[in-house]
Structure 1
C-alpha cells in the first residue's frame, strides 16, 4: 500500500498563479505525484492516483478553501460549456487516469458569500462540505443582479446551468436571470429570498415535469401570485432538454409560459353556449301541488330545508315526501331519523302506503293482513330504501360518513336527515351556531358534489314576545334555529 511521504509545488497550480505555499503536490511512496486541487499527476499509469482515492484514503478536500481551488470546466456529458460552469462558480473534480469528471461542487451561498458546497458524486450521490445549515440563497442568486424583467426558477443546479446556456446562446446580448432551488424541489429557499424573487416583473417556474415537480411549481406560483408563470416542456427538465437538442422548444416554452390558474377558475370563453343552453335537471314532483308550483319539484344535487314549529309534523312531512319519491318515482331513498327508532320510520312508509295513521298501525299491526304487509314491504323497503339504526346525536364527521355511503355505496337519489339539531345535542360544545355552520357547509357541498338531493329537517327558534309558531305565528328565514347558514346554503326552505 502506498503512503504519503511529503508534498511539493504543483507546477500546474503555480503556472495559474496558485500554490503560493508550494505544497499542493502530494508525493507518494511509489513515486507517483498528485495535486488534489487541479488534478495534475505524475508517475506510471498503473500507479496513477485518482481524486476519489485521495479523498477516500487520505481525507483530502474537507473544507471549502480546498474546493475553491478546484477548476471549472466543460460538463461534456451534459453538453454544458466551460464558461457557463465558471460563471456559476461550479467546481469540478477529475479522474486523472482518464480525465473524466467524477464530482461537481455547487456553491451554497448566504447573502452572496459561499459558505458551503453541495457535492454531487456522479452519477447521483450527494453530500455537502461547509456550512449549509439555515437560510441560504437560491443557487445562482449570488451571480444574478436583483431586479429585471424575467426571473427563471428551475429545479436543480444542472438545470440552472442548462437553462442559462440555452438562453444566452440564443440571446447573447441579454444575459438571463436564472436560479434554482438549492435543496431539491423544496420551496423554502424561495420563501427565504422572496424579496429577491419579487424584485422581478415576471417569475417563470420550470421545475421537473413529474408530479412532484409540478406540485412544487404550483406551490411556488401560489406564493408569488399573479406575476408567476409556469414553463412546460416535453422533456423532464432543462438539463434533459439541452442534452436532447431541444433548445428551440425550450426557448419557445420560456416565452409562452402560462400564468397559473387556480383550480376551478374558468374564463368565460371556455364556457360554450351549448353548455349554457343545457336544460336544468327536472324536479321530481311531490304530492303537494302548491309546493310544486313554488319550487318546481325537488331536484337532485340540491339541499332543501323542512321547518315548522314543534309538534306540527315535520317528521311526518319528511316521511310523506320520502314515500312519494320512493313509491311514485321509484327513487332510492336514504332516511336518517335520529329521534325515532328505525321500526317507526319504516312503519311510517307502510302506513302511508295503506292510508292508515301511523300510531294506529303501530298499536294495531293486525289492521293490515299479511299480504298487505308483504306487498308494502316489498314495494317500498326491501329494495331501494336504506335507514340508520341509531338514536340521538353523533359527530358531524360520522354523519357525513353515513351520507357518503348512502350516496356512493347504496346509490341513493335522495337522503332525508331528521333532524339537524339532534346531530349536535349531547355533544360537548356550547356553540351550536358554529357547529351548524360547519354541518351546513359540508352538507351543501356534498349535495353538489354527489348529485344527491338532501331534505334536512330543522327547528325554529323560540323568541320572547312573538306569537308561538304552534299558534300560527308568522315564520321568517331568520327564525331558523342556530345559524344564518341554514337560510344561506339551502336551495329551498
Structure 2
C-alpha cells in the first residue's frame, strides 16, 4: 500500500479503475483516507489529495498495479464440499486464506512470463474480489502446464478446472477463465497464442445459456477445426464430479466435435444431398414460360412486372389457380389493392370461365354453379389477407409467415410490393429504396426458411422518354420501381409487354428478364386475354404476330384494353 502520511482510514468506496474493467461489483475496493487521498488494494489505482494533480489515469493505475503486490498467505487443504483433494489444490496452488477477517479461497493468477501477478478471492456467498494486477492475468492454471501439447480443456471457473484435472489424475492440461463467462472472449483472446500451441482446445463451459453463448463466441477466435465445445452431463464440471458423473464428463470431453458455426457445412457431408436429383418444377399453363423456367419451384421467389393495366395480376392469378387446383398446393393471397371478395371473384371466374368482375356475367351464373365453384376453389386450402393498402413491413411479414407455417400454405401471392411502401413517411428517414431492400431481404429469408413459393407483383418506373409501357415498350430489369434488391433477391423476373392501343391489344408478349435457376432468358411466348371468359390464355400473338399491323377489315369491336 502507498504511504498515507499521518492520515487515517475513513471508509471504502468504489474504485473507478476496477469499475472500468467490470470489477468491484460491491463498490468497496478503494480506501479513502482523512487527507483525501485514495488507494485501491485490488488494482493499485491511486488518487491524490484535493488540490494536488488530477486523479491517476488508467494507464498510470496499470503501471502502479504492475508493481509487486503483497499476496495473501494461504494454506493448502482438501475442499471436501467440492470433492477436491489436497493434492489437486496443491497442484494448482489453490489455497485457503483470510481477507479482512473473513476466510476465503485464494486462486493464484500468473502473467505470461510465469510471475504471480494477482489473486482471485472467493468469499462466502459467491462474493469475489481481486488483489494485484488484473491487467496482466492469464488463464488460471496455465503456469502449471507446458506451452504445447495434444489437448487442453478450458473451463469457466477455477473449481471446475480442478474438478476436470482431478478426474484426469492431474496429468493433462486443464485451465479456466479467471473471471467467468462475462469476460470469456477477453481472456481467451489474451491467451490465444498459448492455446493455439495445442492440437485441440475443448471448451467445457457451464451448460447455462450465458456459458454456452460465451463458448460459441470464443470458438470463433480459433483456427478452423481446432476448437471443440463439450456438452456436459450436468450444469458444470464440479457438479458432474459431485454427482458421480466423472466418466460421463470425461466422455463428453473426448467426444466433443469441432465447433462449426450455424449455416456452415463440410463438403464431405453433402454426398447424400447430391445423390438426390434437383427439385423438379411444377408446370404452369403457359408453354413458352414453362419451357424457360422449367416450371416453378418451392423455395423460390418470382417477380412479375409490367406497366399499369397490362395484365401482371391476371397472369399471377392464373398461375396461382393452376398450382392450387392442378398441383394441390395450399394457397395464401395478399391482394393489397382489392378487397377479399373482389379477389375471390377472380379465382372463381377462372374456375367457371366467366368474367365474374362484370355485373352481367356474375348475374348470369346460377347460384348452384357459383356455390360449386366456391367449394372447389375456396372450400379448402385457400387463404387471403384481409387488408387494403400499405402495411407495416414487420406486420406483413408476420402474416406471411403465419400463412406459411401456421396454415401450411405452399404458394403465396403478394400483389403488390410497391403498395407495401406507398404509405412511408420519408421524413422519418425511411426511403422507398431502403424499405424495399429490407422487405426483399426478409422475403428471401422467409421463402428459404419456410419452403414456400412466392409470386410477387412489382410496378415499373415511368420511362424518362420514348413510348410508354402501355404502348408495348420493352421492359428491362432496371425499369422496376424501388431498388436493386428486387433484382438481386429474386430467383426469376417475368415481364409482360402489350400495346393497349395497337391492332391486337389483347395479346401480350411474355419476357423472362432474370432466371437464376436455369439461366435461360428472353422472349417466352405470348398470352391472350379472352374478354368473353375473362381468362388470360397461352397464345401465339395472333396470326400477324404481336405488334404487327393487321388489315383494317379484320379488326374487331369490343376488345378489352385493360386486363
TM-score of the pair, normalised by structure 1: 0.72
What displacement does 1:245 show? 8.1
Aligned counterparts, 1:172-191, within 5 A = 176=173, 178-184=174-180, 186-191=181-186
Q: Is the 8 A contact 1:91 1:106 kept in 2?
A: yes
What displacement does 1:452 show? 1.7
Q: Is the 8 A contact 1:198 1:224 kept in 2?
A: no
What displacement does 1:272 show? 3.0
- Which segments of 5 or more consecutive residues in structure 1 lack a partner in the other structure? 1-62, 95-101
Q: 1:391 to 1:78 in 2, by over 3 A?
A: closer
Paired position in structure 2 for 1:449: 449
Q: 1:487 to 1:129 in 2, by over 3 A?
A: closer
Paired position in structure 2 for 1:158: 159
Spell out, residue by residue over 1:132-188, the C-alpha distance to the aligned partner (whole angstroms, 9 max, x if none): 9986835526846895456542122112223444557436xxxx4x4322344x141
Paired position in structure 2 for 1:472: 472
Q: Is the 8 A contact 1:146 1:199 kept in 2?
A: no
Matched, 1:435 2:435: yes
Matched, 1:107 2:99: no
What displacement does 1:416 show? 0.4
Aligned counterparts, 1:125-144, within 5 A = 125-129=125-129, 137=137, 140=140, 143=143
Paired position in structure 2 for 1:229: 228
What displacement does 1:270 show? 1.8
Paired position in structure 2 for 1:287: 285
The number of residue pairs the alignment matches comes to 412
Deviates more, 1:482-491 or 1:238-247: 238-247
Spell out, residue by residue over 1:245-286, the C-alpha distance to the aligned partner (whole angstroms, 9 max, x if none): 88788778767753211122222222234x323244443322
Matched, 1:385 2:355: no
Q: Is the 8 A contact 1:107 1:139 kept in 2?
A: no
Paired position in structure 2 for 1:33: none
Matched, 1:267 2:263: no
For 1:473 and 1:118, the matched residues in 2 are separated by 78
Q: 1:332 to 1:243 in 2, by over 3 A?
A: closer
For 1:255 and 1:374, the matched residues in 2 are separated by 67
Q: Is the 8 A contact 2:72 2:97 kept in 1?
A: no
Paired position in structure 1 for 2:72: 68
From 314, 317, 331, the equivalent of 1:316 is 314
Spell out, residue by residue over 1:87-133, the C-alpha distance to the aligned partner (whole angstroms, 9 max, x if none): 54422279xxxxxxx965133759653365122x4xxx312356699
**Backbone CA RMSD of aligned residues:** 3.6
Q: 1:208 to 1:266 in 2, by over 3 A?
A: same
For 1:413 and 1:337, the matched residues in 2 are separated by 17
Q: Is the 8 A contact 2:348 2:374 kept in 1?
A: yes
Paired position in structure 1 for 2:408: 411
Spell out, residue by residue over 1:374-418, the C-alpha distance to the aligned partner (whole angstroms, 9 max, x if none): 222222223322112211111111111110121122221211000
From 116, 122, 140, the equivalent of 1:118 is 122
What displacement does 1:76 show? 4.5
Aligned counterparts, 1:321-340, within 5 A = 321-340=319-338
For 1:458 and 1:195, the matched residues in 2 are separated by 52
- Which segments of 5 or more consecutive residues in structure 2 lack a partner in the other structure? 1-40, 43-68, 494-563
Paired position in structure 2 for 1:197: 192
Q: 1:82 to 1:327 in 2, by over 3 A?
A: closer
For 1:160 and 1:132, the matched residues in 2 are separated by 22
Deviates more, 1:286-295 or 1:221-230: 221-230
Secondary structure class of the residue paired with 1:92: strand
Paired position in structure 1 for 2:86: 82
Q: 1:421 to 1:89 in 2, by over 3 A?
A: same
Aligned counterparts, 1:10-49, within 5 A = none
Quick check: which one's helix share is greater?
1
For 2:431 and 2:96, the matched residues in 1 are separated by 65
Q: 1:346 to 1:243 in 2, by over 3 A?
A: closer
Q: Is the 8 A contact 2:92 2:141 kept in 1?
A: no
Q: 1:418 to 1:166 in 2, by over 3 A?
A: same
What displacement does 1:431 show? 2.3
Q: 1:91 to 1:67 in 2, by over 3 A?
A: farther
Secondary structure class of the residue paired with 1:271: helix
From 205, 208, 211, the equivalent of 1:207 is 205
Secondary structure class of the residue paired with 1:182: coil
TM-score of the pair, normalised by structure 2: 0.64
Paired position in structure 1 for 2:482: 482
